[in-house]
Structure 1
Amino acid sequence: MKVLIVGGGIGGLALGAALARRDVEADIIERRPAYGDEGAGIVLGPNVMSVMKGLALHEAVVAAGHPVGLARITDASGRVLQQTAYAMPDLPLPATAIHRDCLLRVLRAASPAPRLGVTLSSVERGADGVDVAFSDGTTGRYDVVVGADGIRSAVRSQVCGTEVSSRYSGYTCWRFVVDGHFEDAVVEMWGRGRRVGVVPLGEGKSYVFLTLNAPRRAPPPWTDLAGLRATYAGFADPARSALAALEHMDGVLHNDIEDCSAPRWWRPRVVLLGDAAHAVTPNLGQGAGLAIEDAAALAQLLATMGPSDAALARYEDLRRPRAERIRDRSWTLGKVAQWESGLARRLRDAALVWTPESVARGELEKVVRDMPGVPVG
């Protein structure tokens, strides 16, 4: 069996690593001409770390990242609204915060080397395989093609037949990494139509994200670093210290927050993975985790059932309900967190304070334990 993986991001490389462990031949193509500074930070929950253990990559992730034991929501003043422990007794590896660039390096080391600067020119599906032409003039024949090419997937049209539009959340996000640790916990601070998140990474650095209600594709409401800080001046520590540590605007990434759901995930010989199938907003911290879970599940099904319709159908049957639950919960949480009304925010904050820790814990357990079809270590 020979597999083509379109997309050399987290999901595509995780699939490459999972197939390599099963001695399945795979090629990976990636449209970008080179890997550079890849994004900012990410938290891999204990569920994802269990998958990484199954891929024998957990030690490298732990070495490159920073264990986090608590997730904390506060208001802009720093008053704690809700706190939840990440640890799960039967999932022994800790949640780990890591720079995306470090995670990609770990995955690339275990995966076939991607062919960079290459895209698909044509895809012809047949009963016995898929004939593919590439942008560099080469061709290839594969048993299955996997679209792991993100929310604006080119492969998705091969599966769905039409363009699948993304859904804009109503808020946008800036992300960056600064020197310094300002909290041991993952902290998300909720203000009026805006949030600040501070996440401790390894090597004495922290990942920071800023959200703001805004029209789609709106330019930033500032022109310089002083303007950025002024927009979030109402936030106390750790946000205040983290913003003070930002020395320049270079490297600050800006993305509108969107999600997307493909109406179907596969056709014979072609299948979608990660954001190409089910992009989710980042409010539950599970987007990249879902892609890694997909990769582990799909690799196992391909290795045991071959590139058959039955394997691809089983993959979607197993994975779609979880992806849709997380998409819907994440969308709702993000909307609530971005409320602007003073009365609504006071009621929301009071509800969080009075929610028993056992209830919050139960919600987290639903997210991290329910991984149907995913082999773990």
Structure 2
Amino acid sequence: MTRVRTVAVIGGGIAGPVAALALRKAGIEATVYESHPTTADGVGGTIAIAPNGMAALDIVGAAAPAAEVSWPVHRQVMTVGRKRLDLPGLAGAGPLHVVQRSDLYRILAADVPIQYGKRLVNAVQGAGGVTAAFADGDEIEADVLIGADGVHSTVRRLIDPAAPGPHFTGMVAMEGRSPLTVPEEPGTMIFAFGKRGFYLYGPALGGGTTFGVNLPHRPLTVAEARAIPSPRWKETLLEVYGSDTPGGDLIRALPAEELTVNGALHIMPPVPHWYRGRMVLTGDAVHAPSNSSGQGASLSIESAIELAQCLRDIPDVTDAFRHYESLRRARVEKVAARAARTNSVKAPGPIGRALMPIIMRAFMRFAMNPEKVIGPEQRYRIDWAKTL
């Protein structure tokens, strides 16, 4: 039976280049097609990579360079008003690594061919492959097409026109590096539930304080959010977080032009069909949990690598895709369900605010058993050497 020789990967974010790296490691030719006209150098905010994600990156040789440019978080603390709770970690699991998106993009893109300005508009499947058509008029052929094109995936629609789309969480993400210094030891991240919204912060490498907010807001695209002048966003942030300590002070000290607007936060509901014929989904295109999970990027990295492993070891494409889904679906949906419970208290309405003390007591009991709650997530390891 003919094995897969060529793969077209749609999407140059995180999952796409990781899939291409893993496929090339497996001896399969892979090219990434990215809709944006240029690289992501200097674009975007930060992402967190959990220990399982770093272990997966190590398979494609990206863990060490990612660690070199990251902020390792060894201690996590949750605050609600004046209440402060140290969140116990997993013994021996390793730290959370916070890294700039642009730095991770640069690392991942260094060793894979990426064509920019390639917005997919259609894909036609034949008996032995897929023909992909782009908005610029170009067409390419490959044995398999992978959709790693994010929550607004074109490939997901091509696989199943009735597939669900992303759900808006009710929050817009922003971040910055404030010159204000907070009295926390290096490697600490604080998850703070303020009076009207959630934010996080911690000592920045080189001084100052890195902070991020999940601002309760109407839905906006990234383009719409970034079109709003930074001073106006700063005013809005102060309306929500201005009376919080230290949230308000961090925002007041931040020059407005240094505020990074990341856009609306979305989650993906369960997707009925992960593949059809010779097209398959990976990363946020098929599973995007709330950022409350701390696992979004890590799950995308894992899925991309395990998809490549299935294509490496299982000659029949349908069987490979079926096995890939069986490896991944239960895991990613369990993480998404856990994150959804946490996410429900990030942008509470009037009833939610009244119930916050009860909700947070339950959350604290939940968080005090990390081995049961996040152990299966963070201790997950892919055995690349194993033949499936």
Normalising to structure 1: TM-score of the pair?
0.88
Q: Greater CA deviation, 171-180 or 327-336?
A: 171-180
Q: Greater CA deviation, 246-255 or 296-305?
A: 246-255
Structure 2: which amino acid aligns with 1:158? L
Aligned to 1:319: 328
Aligned to 1:255: 263
Aligned to 2:137: 137
Per-residue Cα deviation, 1:102-136 (whole angstroms, up to 9, x for no partner): 111111123x1310111224311112111223333
Which of 3, 6, 9 is the matching residue for 1:2?
6
**Cα distance 1:242–1:107, how it changes in 2: closer, same or farther (>3 A)?**
farther
**Cα distance 1:144–1:200, how it changes in 2: closer, same or farther (>3 A)?**
farther
Which of 28, 31, 42 is the matching residue for 2:32?
28
Q: In structure 1, the residue corresponding to 2:43 is in which secondary structure? A: coil
Q: In structure 2, the residue corresponding to 1:155 is in which secondary structure? A: helix
Structure 1 runs not aligned, ≥5 long: none
Deviation, 1:327, is 1.4
**Cα distance 1:321–1:199, how it changes in 2: closer, same or farther (>3 A)?**
farther
What percent of counterpart residues are identical?
A: 25
Aligned to 1:16: 20
Per-residue Cα deviation, 1:4-51 (whole angstroms, up to 9, x for no partner): 000000110111111222221111110001124331111111111111
Q: In structure 2, the residue corresponding to 1:47 is in which secondary structure? A: helix
Which of 251, 258, 268 is the matching residue for 2:277?
268
Report if aligned partners of 1:81, 1:352 keep a CA contact under 8 Å in 2.
no
Q: How does 1:42-191 map to 2 (within 5 A)?
A: 42-77=47-82, 79-85=83-89, 87-89=90-92, 91=93, 93-110=94-111, 112-178=112-178, 182=182, 183=184, 184-191=187-194
Work out the CA distance in 2 between the residues paired with 1:356 and 1:216: 30
Deviation, 1:53, is 1.5
Instruction: Answer yes or no: is 1:246 the counterpart of 2:274.
Output: no
Report if aligned partners of 1:98, 1:201 keep a CA contact under 8 Å in 2.
no
Q: In structure 2, the residue corresponding to 1:223 is in which secondary structure? A: helix
Q: How many residues are matched?
A: 369
Deviation, 1:168, is 2.3
Q: Greater CA deviation, 31-40 or 343-352?
A: 343-352
**Cα distance 1:305–1:200, how it changes in 2: closer, same or farther (>3 A)?**
farther
Report if aligned partners of 2:45, 2:262 keep a CA contact under 8 Å in 1.
no
Q: In structure 2, the residue corresponding to 1:279 is in which secondary structure? A: coil
Structure 2 runs not aligned, ≥5 long: none
Structure 1: which amino acid aligns with 2:126? G
Q: Greater CA deviation, 19-28 or 334-343?
A: 334-343
Q: In structure 2, the residue corresponding to 1:309 is in which secondary structure? A: helix
Structure 1: which amino acid aligns with 2:64? E
**Cα distance 1:116–1:360, how it changes in 2: closer, same or farther (>3 A)?**
same
| Aligned alpha-carbon RMSD (Å) | 2.8
Structure 1: which amino acid aligns with 2:17? L
Deviation, 1:181, is 6.6
Normalising to structure 2: TM-score of the pair?
0.86
**Cα distance 1:50–1:213, how it changes in 2: closer, same or farther (>3 A)?**
same
**Cα distance 1:359–1:142, how it changes in 2: closer, same or farther (>3 A)?**
same
Structure 1: which amino acid aligns with 2:123? V
Per-residue Cα deviation, 1:291-318 (whole angstroms, up to 9, x for no partner): 1011110111111114610000111111
Work out the CA distance in 1 between the residues paired with 2:202 and 2:74: 11
**Cα distance 1:140–1:153, how it changes in 2: closer, same or farther (>3 A)?**
same
Report if aligned partners of 2:215, 2:237 keep a CA contact under 8 Å in 1.
no
Structure 2: which amino acid aligns with 1:166? P
Work out the CA distance in 2 between the residues paired with 1:200 and 1:311: 45
Q: Greater CA deviation, 258-267 or 168-177?
A: 168-177
Deviation, 1:62, is 1.1
Aligned to 1:231: 240
Per-residue Cα deviation, 1:249-277 (whole angstroms, up to 9, x for no partner): 45521422221232110011100011111
Aligned to 1:347: 358
